[in-house]
Chains A and B, each alone.
Chain A
Amino acid sequence: MKVIGEGLVKAFYLLIHGDPEVLRVTWLTLRVSGSATLISILIGIPIGLLLALIRFPGRRILISLINTGMGLPPVVVGLWVSIFLWRYGPLGRLGLLYTPTAMVIAQSVIAVPVVAGFTLAGIGQLSPKLTLQIMALGANRWQTWWLLVREARLSILAAIIAGFGSVISEVGASQMVGGNILGETRVLTTATVMEVSKGNYDVAIAISVILLLLSYGVTLILTLLQHRGRPS
């Protein structure tokens, strides 16, 4: 209990005093996970939409791959992204390993199937007759898709929340492709693991509280967006 109390006090202290290192790590966490979430929205939502609305050969195989991807272990993603980014790997010449960009790539690989899978489920839950009704109102294909996305807004924002949750909380991939380098690639999750390994439980608890607050803040904004304009 004493450790928890000390951790909470430490968190309060770090937040109040605006510790530069903590602020840098928090900002990098937000930047990396925010970018990965944005990429996963841009790629995952169209994939989910296409899989939900268009019938084509091999669709079910792709859906099963997306469903499998929703549970991808971050360590496995970290390993494969590292292999691709190693100096002698297929993308080694880009020199991205141990940079925030590598972390964004790895986190995007984790989040895209999550966002695509939840989008697919959300659109799939809408009645097929709703699509007919929208078409019957005179919507062209793009207008139909846009209106369906709007109708599935709750599910799609849940997809984004789940995507953000999956990357803000992962540690394995960020550790492997980022290397937890101070001032370069250290994020809140890798910093927590490091402090625990050093036995600094109070600092680890403090960082974990900051991580929780950050996660809650972003999720709160997304939840408010999700419920905006709906009857209570």
Chain B
Amino acid sequence: MIEVEGLKVRRGKRLVLDVDALAVEEGEVLAVIGPNGAGKSTLLEALALLTPAEMTYRFAGRAARLPQEALALRRQMAVVFQQSFLLDGTVFDNVALGLRLRRTPPAQVRKQVTEALERFQVAHLARRHARALSGGEAQRVSLARALALQPRVLFLDEPFGALDVLTRSAILQDLRGILRAAGVTALFVTHDFTEIPPLADRVAVLMDGRVRQVGTPQEIFSKPADDSVEKLVRAAADLVRTLG
């Protein structure tokens, strides 16, 4: 669905992301893992066309002309960040916003918003002010806002990072079902290795702004490509074992 080559992102004179090639296949969920400062969020923002980057970018098999086509392509994607970033207004207005920006007819907006709210079990909050929600409710609304757009690609930047474990587990289960049912392609940045098995088909390991390995979760954990990847997955496995 998305293929990039020669991806470079600079902050001033510093090269913060340098990826030779990366592909997110249609219908798959690709998890991006790596230590703090590895460039995971920058990679997500570059692929979602939210930050300036040098790259050759193909979307659905077609080479994109950037930045001219960036808006049209962004309107086929959706992003959920760690913070829900709900705007001033009701839950309904928030979920409807992206559709209204696309000038979708009101009846269609109502239908898609209602469906999305129901899927994430927040339909009863539709008239509530978005600033009066709990963290879990706000993140469910944020996910509903993204899915209401019926995106071809969904980007998730540590969407459960700020939630307690019970809320996280419940939303994770719902999201897994919804992504599988809709067949949405997704790229999912996470720190939490326990989120990988339920969601991800493949994993990309990012370190120091470079992709070190891409493979299935089993491949990453059983055959790490180099010492740094092995160190990362072993530390994660040790942590899971200690807690378990």
A residues near B (Cβ < 8 Å) are 127, 129-130, 132-140, 143, 147, 150-151, 153, 229-231
Nearest to B75 among chain A residues (CB) is A138
Cβ-neighbour of B45 out of A127, A130, A132, A138 (below 8 A): A132
Cβ-neighbour of A151 out of B87, B129, B132 (below 8 A): B87
Complex: how many Å from CA A138 to CA B74?
A: 6
Cβ-neighbour of B78 out of A129, A130, A132, A136 (below 8 A): A136
Given contacts A127-B83, A151-B87, 13 further A-B contacts (CB under 8 A): A127-B85, A129-B83, A133-B79, A133-B81, A136-B50, A137-B97, A138-B71, A138-B75, A150-B88, A229-B88, A230-B131, A231-B129, A231-B132
Complex: how many Å from CA A98 to CA B2?
A: 66
A-B contact pairs, 25 of them (CB 8 A): A129-B83, A129-B85, A132-B79, A133-B81, A133-B85, A134-B87, A136-B77, A136-B78, A136-B79, A137-B101, A137-B145, A137-B149, A138-B98, A138-B102, A139-B101, A140-B101, A147-B87, A150-B87, A150-B88, A151-B87, A153-B88, A230-B88, A230-B129, A231-B131, A231-B132
Q: Which residues of chain B in 3-30 are interfacial with respect to chain A, using CB atoms and an 8 Å cutoff? A: none
Cβ-neighbour of A143 out of B50, B87, B88, B101 (below 8 A): B101
CB neighbours (8 Å) of A150 from chain B are: 87-88
Listed from nearest, the 10 A-B pairs whose CB atoms lie closest are A136-B79, A137-B98, A133-B85, A138-B75, A231-B129, A132-B50, A138-B101, A231-B132, A139-B101, A138-B98
Cβ-neighbour of A130 out of B85, B89, B102, B131 (below 8 A): B85
Binary interface encoding of chain B residues 83-124 relative to chain A, with 1 for a CB under 8 A from any of its CBs, else 0 = 101011100000001100110000000000000000000000
Complex: how many Å from CA A188 to CA B229?
A: 74
Question: Would you give the shortest CB distance from A88 to chain B, in whole angstroms?
Answer: 51
CB neighbours (8 Å) of A138 from chain B are: 71, 74-75, 98, 101-102, 149
Interface size on B, residues (CB 8 A): 26
Question: Would you give the shortest CB distance from B9 to chain A, in whole angstroms?
Answer: 14
Complex: how many Å from CA A151 to CA B98?
A: 16
B147 interface residue (CB < 8 Å to A): no
How would you classify the secondary structure of chain A's contact residues: helix, strand, loop or mixed?
helix
Complex: how many Å from CA A229 to CA B93?
A: 13
Binary interface encoding of chain B residues 63-87 relative to chain A, with 1 for a CB under 8 A from any of its CBs, else 0 = 0000000010011011101010101
CB neighbours (8 Å) of A137 from chain B are: 78, 97-98, 101, 145, 149
CB neighbours (8 Å) of B155 from chain A are: 136
Complex: how many Å from CA A6 to CA B163?
A: 64
CB neighbours (8 Å) of A143 from chain B are: 101
Question: Would you give the shortest CB distance from B22 to chain A, in whole angstroms?
Answer: 19
Binary interface encoding of chain B residues 16-56 relative to chain A, with 1 for a CB under 8 A from any of its CBs, else 0 = 00000000000000000000000000000100101100000
CB neighbours (8 Å) of B75 from chain A are: 138
Question: Would you give the shortest CB distance from B25 to chain A, in whole angstroms?
Answer: 21
Complex: how many Å from CA A231 to CA B131?
A: 8
Question: Would you give the shortest CB distance from A135 to chain B, in whole angstroms?
Answer: 6
CB neighbours (8 Å) of A230 from chain B are: 88, 129, 131
Nearest to A148 among chain B residues (CB) is B87
Nearest to B89 among chain A residues (CB) is A229
Complex: how many Å from CA A188 to CA B219?
A: 80
CB neighbours (8 Å) of A151 from chain B are: 87-88
Complex: how many Å from CA A146 to CA B3?
A: 33
Complex: how many Å from CA A201 to CA B75?
A: 66
Instruction: Check A129 against B81 for contact (C-beta < 8 Å).
Output: yes
Question: Would you give the shortest CB distance from B241 to chain A, in whole angstroms?
Answer: 34
Question: Would you give the shortest CB distance from A157 to chain B, in whole angstroms?
Answer: 13
Complex: how many Å from CA A151 to CA B94?
A: 12
Nearest to B51 among chain A residues (CB) is A132
Question: Would you give the shortest CB distance from B189 to chain A, in whole angstroms?
Answer: 13
CB neighbours (8 Å) of B131 from chain A are: 230-231
Among A134, A137, A231, chain B packs the most CB atoms within 10 A around the CB of A137
Question: Would you give the shortest CB distance from A137 to chain B, in whole angstroms?
Answer: 4
Complex: how many Å from CA A140 to CA B145?
A: 18
Question: Would you give the shortest CB distance from A149 to chain B, in whole angstroms?
Answer: 11
Nearest to B98 among chain A residues (CB) is A137
Complex: how many Å from CA A130 to CA B84?
A: 9
